[in-house]
Amino acid sequence: MLLVPCPNCGPRNSADLRYGGESHARPDPATASPLQWRGYLYLRDNPAGWLRETWYCRSGCRRWFTLERNTATNEFRDPPQPGDKRGSKA
Amino acid sequence: MTMSRLEVQPTEVIDRSTTLRFRWNGKRFSGFEGDTIASALAAAGEHVFSRSMKYHRPRGILTADYWDPNLLVQVGDDPNVRAGHRLLEAGMDVGAQNVWPSLHRDIKAANGLVSRFLTAGFYYKTFMRPQRLWPAYERVLATFAPGGKVDPDTPHRYHDKRYSHPDVVVAGAGPAGIEAALAAAAAGARVMLVEHEHAVGGHLRYAHPEPARAALAELRAALAASDVEVLTDSTVTGRYEDNWLGIVQRSHPVAVERLIKARAKVLVVAPGLIERPYVFAGNDRPGVITSVAARRLINLWGVKPGERAVVFTANADGDAAAADLERAGVEVAAVVDGRDGRRVSAAQGPPKALEAVVAGGTRTEADLLVVAAGWTAPTSLLNMAGDRPVYDPAAARFFPSDPPGNVLATGGLAGDGRLDELRAHGAATGRLAAQRAAAVAHRYQARTARALAVTGDEPAWAADERAPLRRDRHPELYRSDTHGMVDLSEDVGSKDLVAAAREGYDSVELAKRYTTATMGSAQGKLETVNTVAAIAEARGETIAQVGTTVWRPPYAPLTLGALAGRMFEPVRVSSIHPWHEANGVRTIQAGQWIRPDHYGDPAAEVRNVRTNVGIIDVTPLGKLDLRGPDIPKLLNLLYTNKWSKLAVGKVRYGMMCAEDGVVLDDGVTGRLGPEHYLMTTTSSGAAGVWEWVENWLQTERPDWRVHVTPVTTAYASINVAGPKSRELVSRVVDGVDLSPEAFAYMEVRTATVAGVAGCFMWRIGFTGELSFELHVPAGHGLHVWEALMEAGADLGVGPFGLEGQRIMRLEKGHFIVGQDTDGLTLAPSTGMSPLIKLDKEDFAGLPELAWAADRQLPLIVAIQPDDPEIVPEEAAQIVRGDTNEILGRITSARMSPTLGRAVCLGQVEPELAAGGTKLTVLLASGQRIGATVMDHHAHFDPAGERLRG
């Protein structure tokens, strides 16, 4: 079972959390085309490598948070901060 | 082969002063305390323990341990007991499995005569066609299935579960494992040492020489003086992500078995080596045993394994076995030395015994053949950590390649050496494990914002500076110049594997599944490398080229009892539950909740609500307390309808959709104050809606000022329903004008109920009757319930349960999310289109619903079967005429006590949604019945006059 580093509660069994899946921005519902909206609903990058994803610490602090996980190794790291050279592709 | 008990051995584990009597196949036997079932039987002269799976060949002891494929027996109602491992107990009733009519006269042994037809894939090829005969084949084949008998009347026994967070877990308590545990503990780590056998010591336990005995005594004493937690007769069955370990403890003093789920910071893998059988003609004959088996029999249990032996040895352990045999008075007639290129070719004799051994053309009479042909490295836990072990032809076994840094191998798995070298390697491994565990612990704590601050920097990740163990040369001994059995559990021979390779199943993973080699009770521990070797030989390649199968969890089988174990899932009941139990409730489980289903007669409960007044405990109803100025914005975002103008004291119904427009939940929300609302959700949706709300507030709208508190269990909820409900409520509520003018339908009031302040109530109606829903502080729920029952005695008040409520809501045509809707039901299908406000700026699911507005969607409609007595099954299909074309389905159906007829809700294609449409419903029995779509969702009181009164 994965050990997920909750920023408040520390490493926690993944069963203590809800997996929110790949992090993705919500399109503006006023202007989104069906293609954009359904991309938001159903299309995921699913990379073999670093992935930004959301978790909900439902048995602990009740916070939704975002982390980066390497899907090939299950290594976690904090998401890049503004100005971080690692950048993001979101 | 005749076995018998030797004089007292210095290493023996039996207590000869305690005799245990037991039965074997109905006959009386006895053994000593400390015997396994197999050692006691062997000492009593038994040499056939089972019949093989496919050919029913007589089988005797092979390895005399947990993995022995020939020693599966039935003990009382316990099937597939490993007699090489299970300790003897007084009064045991032990029997052979897979035999008929008896172990010694087994009719199915005739299979052996046709063995050349029972080749790989025999069952697939033979019983495929014609398909209509498969049920007949299955009945016959089932009688050939191996394994013991399961007794359905076996009493439930207690299986325990435990969670543990050790710093270091050491799997295997041989000399290296013990040293690793001691060194890690000495360095300050909390250590759990897990040993598969009944005692620690590994191979030292059955080593006769004095230095080995002294070393074992020293290690045991050190362990006893340490803080190491030692679990014997326990197995690390699996290693998962981040060193999440499954450990099955069979030696728990109370529980039959205990499953330990351990999060280890570092795992030390020290299972030692498992001796490998050798493949030659007759290698599965009783009397052919491994060298470790011979040494265990002699040294652990004082059992003389035969009278006249041939020893085939390719290593020092085989030589030690020869020495043990001579000391035990077994005549060693010949030693065939594998290091000189000599091979054993055949073991011959009548079916149940060994008579002679053929090696290098020489036939030697013997009743015992002891084989030391090499080792299998049980790398399972390393495999599970992602390591792919590498074959070393010079040492004739696999070695770890590159396991992750929190998994360390030591002992025989890692290499060879003298005892002091193995111990030193173990100790160095333990020190390294403790250092790395300290770094992991530091990291865990430093990353926990709410933990005590850690001092200092994270310790550096200690480099692996252990002096590697050497690798002794060993001849590659897999198959002789004859063919024999590779997998004794599954009766797969080397010829079968060659045939499978010829048929194209030449990848080891394919051949394994095709022939079932390595898939039996030994789970590859004995036969994997021989299987790989046979495939390599058939392909003309090396073992390294063929590679090996990947060992997956569990390392050793564990029972379903251990996995099911003790449940930690909470059970929830309302504070009123004691009253229900005292009044004949029939409960129903709904998620974690135990709820009243009815109190004996749900139809009578319905009639009482419709004529008098009833009360129902709806405590599990999800309740969220909302505070803050931005609540209307939040409600507008979550619900499909509009909330900006909801006045204080008013309640409104709302439906929530997911972003794909599918109905997610529904319920009412009331405004208690200017910035204070109470939202209710369905009982089953309570947890999910809360997460959904938090997700919006935390990620999409973090600037909104709304605070959400779940109060589901903070309030006990009671719905008072029926024409006399106003009269009843007026008798217990103080200070609220209950007249229809002052307290209208869909309004909320705070109140004191039966003397309990801080309650609120609203007028809503799932049952279709005049009703008041009371929410009272949970601790007073029982008091208020009893007050209502007492105050309404003359009104005929009675309790009703979920079933009654479900009937009444169906009479009224109210849909239930998840019952009448499913994961594809878009909001307009509920018939609630007026509540979907597409002119709002935004709400969850808006774009999908906007695009769906001009689409024809399936609709929820009320349906009545033409025959009022027939209640269709829920999920019965609605079809077109006599065809099987599906046009919808019944989603809810009940007999209505109010109308005296069957009433339903269903989802139908849009073409069938108009009132008066005739439908055909296909029942599970195959019968087709007629039914009619109703004009209105409500079968009863469609105008809602009772509700608003």
B159-273+380-446: CATH topology is: FAD/NAD(P)-binding domain (3.50.50)
Q: What one-character-per-residue DSSP string does B139-203 give? A: HHHHTT--S----TTPPP--EEEEEE--SEEEE--SHHHHHHHHHHHHTT--EEEE-SSSSS-GG
- Tell the CATH superfamily of the A1-24+46-82 domain: Folate-binding superfamily (3.30.2270.10)
Find, among B778, B729, B727, the residue nearest to B749 by Cα.
B729
The B308-313 sheet, strands edge to edge:
B288-290, B368-372, B308-313, B331-337
- State how beta strands B191-194 and B168-171 pair: parallel
Q: Give the model's confidence band at B44: pLDDT under 50 very low, under 70 low, under 90 confident, else very high.
A: very high
Find, among B249, B239, B259, B525, the residue nearest to B381 by Cα.
B239
Task: Check CB contact under 8 Å for B691 and A56.
Answer: yes
Q: Rounded CA gap, B779 and B822, in Å? A: 36
**Residue listed under structure tokens 């030696």:** B251
Give the model's pLDDT for residue B419.
Answer: 97
Q: Give the model's confidence band at B447: pLDDT under 50 very low, under 70 low, under 90 confident, else very high.
A: confident
> H or E segment at B304?
strand B303-304
3-state secondary structure B556-609: CCCCHHHHHCCCCCCCECCCCHHHHHHCCCEEEEECCEEEEEECCCHHHHHHHH
Distance from CA of B95 to the nearest CA of A (A): 40
Distance (Å) of CA B54 to CA B80, B95, B280, B709, B872: 16, 19, 19, 63, 49
Q: Give the model's confidence band at B945: pLDDT under 50 very low, under 70 low, under 90 confident, else very high.
A: confident
pLDDT tens digits, one per residue of B517-566:
998 888 899 999 999 999 999 999 999 999 888 888 999 988 888 998 88
Architecture of domain B858-948: Beta Barrel (2.40)
Q: What one-character-per-residue DSSP string does B38-100 give? A: HHHHHHTT----EE-TTT--EE--SSSSTT-TT-EEEETTEEEEETTTSBP-TT-EEEESS-S
pLDDT tens digits, one per residue of B870-918:
999 999 999 999 999 999 999 999 999 999 999 999 999 999 999 999 9
Q: Given B242, B699, B847, which is nearest A2 (Cβ)?
A: B242
Distance (Å) of CA B865 to CA B322, B877, B916, B919: 85, 13, 12, 9
Does the pLDDT of residue A88 top 50, yes or no?
A: no
> Which residue of chain A has the CA closest to B404?
A73
Task: Check CB contact under 8 Å for B659 and A58.
Answer: no
Sign of the CA dihedral running B841, B844, B848, B849: negative
Q: Which two tokens stand for residue B823?
A: 């994961």
pLDDT tens digits, one per residue of B153-162:
888 889 999 9
pLDDT tens digits, one per residue of A58-86:
999 999 999 999 999 999 998 877 666 55
Looking at chain B, the number of H-run helices and the number of E-run strands are: 23, 51
- State how beta strands B266-269 and B407-409 pair: parallel
> H or E segment at B748?
strand B748-753
> Which residue of chain A has the CA closest to B844?
A29
CB < 8 Å to A2, chain B: 241-242
Q: Give the model's confidence band at B126: pLDDT under 50 very low, under 70 low, under 90 confident, else very high.
A: low
Overall average pLDDT of the B82-99 stretch: 94
Q: Given B241, B448, B699, which is nearest A1 (Cβ)?
A: B241
Q: Where are the domains of chain A?
A: 1-24+46-82
Residues of B near A (Cβ–Cβ under 8 Å) read 240-242, 244, 263, 444-445, 447-451, 659-660, 687, 691, 694-695, 698-700, 841-842, 846-848, 851
Sign of the CA dihedral running B569, B573, B578, B584: negative
Overall average pLDDT of the A2-8 stretch: 92
Distance from CA of B698 to the nearest CA of A (A): 7
Give the model's pLDDT for residue B157.
Answer: 87
pLDDT tens digits, one per residue of B45-75:
999 999 888 888 899 999 999 999 999 999 9
Does the pLDDT of residue B704 top 60, yes or no?
A: yes
CB < 8 Å to B842, chain A: 29-30
Identify the bridge partners of residue B751 per DSSP, sorted by sequence position. B759
Q: Give the model's confidence band at A46: pLDDT under 50 very low, under 70 low, under 90 confident, else very high.
A: very high
Q: Which two tokens stand for residue B31?
A: 């053994």
Could you tell me which CATH class the domain B4-106+277-372 is placed in?
alpha beta
> Which residue of chain B has the CA closest to A28?
B842
Distance (Å) of CA B823 to CA B574, B877, B889: 30, 18, 15
Query: Average pLDDT, whole number, for chain B?
Result: 93
Q: Write the CATH number of the domain with boundaries B478-561.
A: 1.10.10
Q: Given A3, A29, A74, which is nearest B847 (Cβ)?
A: A29
Does the pLDDT of residue A90 top 50, yes or no?
A: no
The answer to whether the peptide bond before residue B351 is cis (omega within 30 degrees of 0) is no
Overall average pLDDT of the B699-713 stretch: 96
Give the model's pLDDT for residue B459.
Answer: 87
Q: Where are the domains of chain B?
A: 4-106+277-372, 159-273+380-446, 478-561, 858-948
Give the model's pLDDT for residue B103.
Answer: 78
Best of B164, B239, B242, B709 to disrupt the A interface (most A CBs within 10 Å) is: B242
* Count, residues in chain B: 949
Give the model's pLDDT for residue B452.
Answer: 77
pLDDT tens digits, one per residue of B603-617:
999 999 999 999 999
Percentage of chain B lying above the pLDDT 90 cut: 84
Give the model's pLDDT for residue B650.
Answer: 97
